Amino acid sequence: MAKRERVVRMSVEQPLWRALTGYRLLTMVYAVLLFGSTYKKFDRPGIAVGYLAVLAVWTLATHRKVANAASCTKRFLGADLTVAIVGILLTSLADTHERIAAGGPTLPSIWTAGSVLAFAIKGGWRWAGFASTFVAVANIVVHGGDPTRDTLHNVLLVWVASIAIGYVVEVARASEATLARALEIEAATRERERLARDIHDGVLQVLAMVQRRGTELGGEAAELGRMAGEQEVALRTLVSSGLVHTSRVSRDESLGALVHAYEVEEPGGDEGELDLRTLLAPHAGSKVSFAEPGTPVPLPVPAAKELAAAVWAALDNVRKHAGEGARAWILVEDWGDEVIVTVRDDGPGIPAGRLDQAEGEGRMGVALSIRGRLRDLGGTAELVSVPGQGTEVELKVPRGRTTQ
């Protein structure tokens, strides 16, 4: 039994949560020991004892809240920051004015930084700036609007450090998402390759045999063989490129293609870029060959859709005018500064003057559906047809100068 690829997700921020849990516990103990070493100097030590008791209970009771991002809710962050700010403000009631003016520590001391860091890890640098601003205001209020230089340095340090950590967390999350997506694509590619091997060894060989035997037997068996041949070509295209989703597939019997009308759903509407191959690959069938580069062919979404529509118009002309037995070829070339799509058929060709006559009669298929679309994109559409030798349409779209 074949093993399926499994994507293992990593969390770059989980170590930060574990570090924050330990930081809160250690700084709580530090705040208690710091008070214990100087409690005789406090004006109202009872207030400090009461607050530190609440701080110890709160820290121990909520240590699981900072174990990960899911448990660290906005409500908890607000309550945690409130505990820190209340402790800072209570310092003016518990301690003497002389010690506060000299830059003495607040009741929660450096435990306050843990509350701000929780904001930074949870919500990024904006949340960190919001929380550290409240802490800064509380420290300034305690010092009567005239904080010492050391107090200002400490406040600024917490503010800058928390914002920096918040920014690093945002970058780490973006990198983690990119890595996870890359791993998923790699796993999906390997799974597709495995399925392609299985299909090639089984289904495709059976379809090829049915086509060959049906042609030999003739009659109804020949029709069955023809249908098997179409399915073989379409299935081979799907497993080799992986560009067409089954939900978007319908039938176009005339050219042996699996797709007649298709729609690509792109998030963000017409913004960004789209791989042109995803729009053209569905045309492949028993009578339409599709050749593409091995790498994506990105174009702005409007340009890609217009170019694909022009290709469809060219294939529609093949269906209408080249006859039932005509074959068509689509070739995509990416030259860096421009993209060239060539549509060629082996039909009877177009007689000289026929296009001008059709345009005069009001049939504007080539003039509007093909040349008009390419002109709007800043490109060109060249049509070469030799009676008895088929028709070739070359569509060129420059990059960076489309007007759509």
Q: Is pLDDT at 168 greater than 50 in this prediction?
A: yes
pLDDT (tens digit per residue) in 256-279: 444 433 444 444 456 788 889 888
- Among residues 337, 343, 312, 334, the alpha carbon closest in space to that of 402 is found at 337
Q: Is pLDDT at 1 greater than 60 in this prediction?
A: no
Among 27-31, 107-111, 156-160, 332-336, the least confident range: 156-160
pLDDT (tens digit per residue) in 212-266: 777 778 877 878 877 777 776 666 666 555 544 433 444 444 444 444 334 444 4
> For the chain, what percent of residues have pLDDT higher than 70?
77
Which band of pLDDT confidence, cut at 50, 70 and 90, is reported for residue 403?
Answer: very low
Which band of pLDDT confidence, cut at 50, 70 and 90, is reported for residue 385?
Answer: confident
Report the chain's mean pLDDT, rounded to a whole number.
Answer: 79
Residue 358: the pLDDT is 53
Structure tokens of 346? 């082996």
pLDDT (tens digit per residue) in 99-128: 888 778 889 998 999 999 999 999 889 999
Mean pLDDT of all residues in 392-400: 89
Residue 87: the pLDDT is 92
Do 364 and 262 contact (CB within 8 A), yes or no? Answer: no
Mean pLDDT of all residues in 172-199: 75
Residue 90: the pLDDT is 92
DSSP state letters, 241-290:
H----GGG---BGGGTBS-SS-----TTTT-SEEETHHHHGGG-BSSEEE
Residue 78: the pLDDT is 93
Maximum separation of any 2 CA atoms in the chain, in Å: 109
Which band of pLDDT confidence, cut at 50, 70 and 90, is reported for residue 200?
Answer: low
Residue 252: the pLDDT is 46
- Among residues 395, 375, 372, 373, the alpha carbon closest in space to that of 384 is found at 395
- Dist. CA 39–CA 32, nearest whole Å: 10
pLDDT (tens digit per residue) in 49-76: 999 999 999 999 998 888 888 889 999 9
Q: For residue 117, what are the contacts with CB-CB under 8 A and spacing of at least 6?
A: 20, 23, 128, 162, 165
